[in-house]
């Protein structure tokens, strides 16, 4: 499988990354290991997880995904075959991450998080350590189509980015992480990290993990230029818009065992105008002779601004379709047709 450089590092990651947030909730450990085996067999060398996972987040499953991956790496002796990425939570009132208090991006919480992740993953370092979401009070995803009224606001105890970056500098020097990245971050946040790095506070970020799909191309507005100039890789998540771009929810369908049926947490893709756009993109896929899931994944996998497409699945068949997107020949005609729909519908699901 084709590999691409991860930002300004010497790491070469495959254009598809295996996302693992279902391991420990919708997928058993054995099923998770099957997915990891298949991905590795198909040439994928990039695995993404987080201390928050499984999804949906809750105390009894927090950290379970990392534990499953650690067991797999030990059983397969595969640590040196993969580039491993995990994440630390940002500001949250949930106390189960730190055990007795809410979590923020301060030294005590970040060091606690990485030590626990390394123990669960059964490794002494991670290749990419990402901030899952900011310490700042920003809208989830950090790139809304319009600002929240009455405004974004600030927390009285907001952690300065320079303080957070200094901790990541310590982790790099200690050998616990090789590089760090951002997630659900804005252009301002990315550039502030870069500016603090230029001052000598710590290293530059190498990646940003934000949503990117037919229904949300907000990344292209400002972040794409910032990332290109700062050599920051886009790791795109939610290529299927939480399943809506597979066609399985078309016409109000509610498949048994789907995330919507189990958890009803898909509101990000249930905004005004979304249903019409989803129907149009799924129909376009069929006009090109592809199932919607393959078409939507291929758009992300072959995008010039995407370094790696973070795919996720609950069944082996779903995983095979996502992996097959690497082999699709994405044509100018496909891109033109997608852009035409985007001009009409915009970004209904930021």
Give me the domain span that covers residue 295.
3-345
Report how far residue 161's alpha carbon sits from residue 221's, in angstroms, rounded to the nearest whole number: 23
Q: What is the pLDDT of residues 285-298, one digit of tens each?
A: 999 999 999 999 99
Query: Any residues with CB less than 8 A from the CB of 80 and at least 6 apart, and which?
Result: none
User: Does residue 110 lie in a domain region?
Assistant: yes
> What 8-state DSSP symbol labels residue 346?
-
CATH number, domain of 16, equals: 3.20.20.100
Report how far residue 265's alpha carbon sits from residue 268's, in angstroms, rounded to the nearest whole number: 8
CA atoms within 13 A on the CB side of 285: 22
User: Does residue 350 lie in a domain region?
Assistant: no
Count the domains in the chain.
1
Query: Any residues with CB less than 8 A from the CB of 122 and at least 6 apart, and which?
Result: 70, 71, 73, 74
Report how far residue 167's alpha carbon sits from residue 161's, in angstroms, rounded to the nearest whole number: 10
**Tens digit of pLDDT at every position of the chain (350 positions):** 999 999 999 999 999 999 999 999 999 999 999 999 999 999 999 999 999 999 999 999 999 999 999 999 999 999 999 999 999 999 999 999 999 899 999 999 999 999 999 999 999 999 999 999 999 988 877 788 877 666 567 899 999 999 999 999 999 999 999 999 999 999 999 999 999 999 999 999 999 999 999 999 999 999 999 999 999 999 999 999 999 999 999 888 898 889 889 899 899 999 999 999 999 999 999 999 999 999 999 999 999 999 999 999 999 999 999 999 999 999 999 999 999 999 999 999 99
User: Does residue 180 lie in a domain region?
Assistant: yes
Active site residues per annotation: 53
Report how far residue 139's alpha carbon sits from residue 273's, in angstroms, rounded to the nearest whole number: 20
User: Does residue 13 lie in a domain region?
Assistant: yes
**Residue 151 CB: number of other CB atoms within 10 A?**
8
User: Does residue 289 lie in a domain region?
Assistant: yes
Numbers of helices and strands, H then E, in the chain: 11, 10
Q: What is the pLDDT of residues 145-199, one digit of tens each?
A: 877 666 567 899 999 999 999 999 999 999 999 999 999 999 999 999 999 999 9
Helices (H), the chain: 29-41, 64-76, 107-121, 161-173, 187-198, 223-230, 259-263, 274-287, 292-301, 316-324, 332-345
β-strands 12-14, 233-237 pairing: unpaired
User: Does residue 27 lie in a domain region?
Assistant: yes
Between CA 173 and CA 234, with CA 196 as vertex, the angle to 5 degrees is: 80
Q: Are 184 and 131 in contact (CB under 8 A)?
A: no
């Amino acid at each position: 499988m084709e590999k691409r450089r991860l930002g300004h590092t010497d790491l070469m990651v495959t254009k598809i990354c295996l996302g693992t947030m279902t391991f420990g909730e919708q997928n058993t450990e054995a099923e998770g290991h099957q997915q990891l085996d298949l991905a590795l067999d198909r040439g994928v060398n990039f695995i993404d997880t987080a201390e928050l996972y499984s999804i949906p987040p809750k105390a009894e499953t927090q950290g379970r995904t990392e534990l499953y991956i650690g067991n797999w790496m030990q059983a397969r002796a595969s640590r040196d075959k993969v580039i491993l990425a995990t994440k630390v939570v940002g500001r949250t009132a949930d106390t189960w991450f730190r055990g007795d208090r809410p979590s923020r991006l301060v030294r005590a919480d970040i060091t606690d998080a990485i030590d626990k992740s390394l123990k669960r993953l059964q490794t002494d370092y991670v290749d990419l350590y990402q901030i899952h979401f900011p310490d700042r009070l920003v809208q989830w995803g950090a790139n809304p189509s319009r600002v929240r009224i009455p405004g974004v606001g600030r927390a009285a105890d907001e952690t300065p980015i320079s303080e957070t970056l200094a901790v990541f500098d310590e982790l790099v020097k200690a050998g616990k992480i090789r590089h760090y990245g951002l997630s659900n971050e804005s252009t301002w946040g990315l550039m502030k990290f870069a500016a603090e790095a230029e001052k000598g506070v710590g290293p530059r970020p190498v990646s940003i993990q934000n949503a990117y799909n037919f229904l949300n191309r907000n990344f292209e507005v400002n972040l794409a230029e910032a990332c290109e100039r700062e050599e920051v890789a886009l790791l795109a998540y939610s290529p299927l818009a939480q399943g809506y771009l597979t066609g399985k929810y078309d016409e109000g369908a509610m498949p048994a065992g789907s995330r919507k049926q189990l958890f009803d947490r898909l509101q990000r893709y249930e905004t005004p105008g979304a249903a019409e756009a989803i129907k149009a993109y799924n129909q376009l896929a069929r006009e090109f002779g592809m199932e919607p899931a393959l078409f939507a994944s291929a758009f992300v996998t072959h995008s010039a601004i995407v370094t790696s497409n973070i795919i996720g699945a609950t069944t082996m068949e779903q995983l095979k379709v996502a992996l097959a997107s690497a082999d699709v020949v994405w044509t100018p005609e496909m891109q033109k047709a997608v852009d035409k729909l985007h001009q009409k519908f915009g970004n209904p699901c930021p």
